[in-house]
Amino acid sequence: MDIKESIIITLTTGELVIILLVENVKQVKSLHEYLKIDAYQFKKSVEENISDVEYISAGYRDDQGEIYWESDLIPVPKWYERN
C-alpha cells in the first residue's frame, strides 16, 4: 500500500492530527490497524520531527477531493512516555 499524501489538521480542541492518505477505504482500514498495533518507528519519527502532532490516523480523498479519515485517533507517544 502506498501513502499518497499526508496532511496535518487541527481538531476543534486545538490538537494536531497527521492523516496519512491512501487510495481507498479498504486501505484506510488496513493502514489504521497497522498504525494502531505497530509502526513504532514511524510514531517515534513523528514525535521527534513534528512534536506538536498529538495523533495519527489514516484516510483517503474521494473523487470530489473530500478527505475522510478514521475517527479512532491513535495517540503519538511522547518521549517521556517511552522512557
For residue 26, the enclosing domain spans 5-82
Residue 9's CB: how many other CB atoms inside 10 A?
A: 14
pLDDT of residue 33: 92
pLDDT of residue 79: 64
Q: Which residue has the cell 513534528?
A: 50
Per-residue pLDDT tens digits for 2-55? 999 999 999 999 999 999 999 999 999 999 999 988 888 888 888 888 889 999
Please list the helix, strand and coil fractions of the chain in percent, rounded to the nearest 5, in that order. 35, 35, 35
Q: How many domains does one find in the chain?
A: 1
pTM (predicted TM-score):
0.86
CA distance 32 to 38: 10
